[in-house]
Amino acid sequence: MLPSRRSLLLAIAAAAPAAPALGQVPAGWPDRPLRLVLPYTPGGGTDAVARALGARLNAALGQPVVVENRPGAGGNLATELVAGARPDGLTLLMGNQGPITVNPTLFGRNLKVNPQTALDPVAMVAETPLVLVAGPGTQAGTLAALIEEARAKKGQMTYASPGNGAAGHLAMALLLQQAGLEATHVPFRGAAPGLTDVAAGHIPMMISTLPSVAGLVAGGALRALAVTGDRRVASMPEVPTVAETLPGYRVTAWYGILVPNGTPEPIRARMEEAILGSLGTPDLVVSLEREGAVPYPMPGEEFRRFIAAESARWAPVIRAAGITAD
């Protein structure tokens, strides 16, 4: 029997080598609380992952980690704040797909700070699959049936998203492109109002995070048709992956830590070591799983290459779908 993805990831974290040049970390660092800035409001998946990680970093580094929510401008406000902070390793950004790999294409020349040059990746933390859900606005009980319905409606079928360029929007755009379909996008300001309209039957479908849809699916208000990762999820084992219908499809929401460019390498490396070590602790694993996430340990240089690959992957999807900033 092949080992699970989770067991492989935890093994990677446990086997991660010690960060280099730790002796060069300034004596007493960190000597005051760390600031972990998030690009979203409290209560969402990013917020929960950040707070779970912050608790572990407190234990690893000996200083509290203060989570600061700075939503706005598609995540750009948080990026600008951290990019402009003193590069002393005390101000961190919880980065994810939208602000880090999508916004450079989405905002273009209007982007004040390019996250890929203004920030240094420290480590990947976690990832979570998204879920395609349907409401009473469609009778489709499978992804294949939904695809056929969308094809018959020739672009007149609608779908909700948490906003232009959000993970759910991009995931649906990619699905439509791979299936050779068109549908009309209806953006909302956040997942909750979009899911409310899907549950009410005003909009047939939406892709959103697992925690945001779990209660509505369990209560029968929504039907889970597919998950976007490369394997089925333990909490919804009967729900197939999109790839079982559209081979090669894979989308996840991911979370990683970045610091201002110019942060001394010994400090960045010490933070990398603390994060990767934390991802092997059972309490953090449980906290992440509660949010539908799994540890995704990846050191800084590998994370940098991942960001570049994600940017290259999503740019043509954004352009083909005609996605623009709000």
Beta bridge partners of 206: 133, 160
Q: How many CB atoms lie within 10 A of CB 296?
A: 24
Beta bridge partners of 184: 158
CATH fold, domain 129-244, is: D-Maltodextrin-Binding Protein; domain 2 (3.40.190)
**Which is more confidently placed, 46 or 161?**
161
The domains spanning 5-128+253-321 and 129-244 adopt the same CATH topology:
yes
So where are the chain's domains?
5-128+253-321, 129-244
The answer to whether the Cα torsion of 319, 163, 48, 237 is positive or negative is: negative
- Whether 21 has a pLDDT exceeding 70, the answer reads no
- pLDDT tens digit string along 279-301? 988 988 888 887 778 899 999 99
Is-cis flag, bond preceding 30, omega within 30?
A: yes
- pLDDT tens digit string along 197-216? 999 999 999 999 888 888 89
- Which pLDDT value is given to residue 136? 95
CATH H superfamily, domain 5-128+253-321: Bordetella uptake gene, domain 1 (3.40.190.150)
| pTM for this predicted structure | 0.83
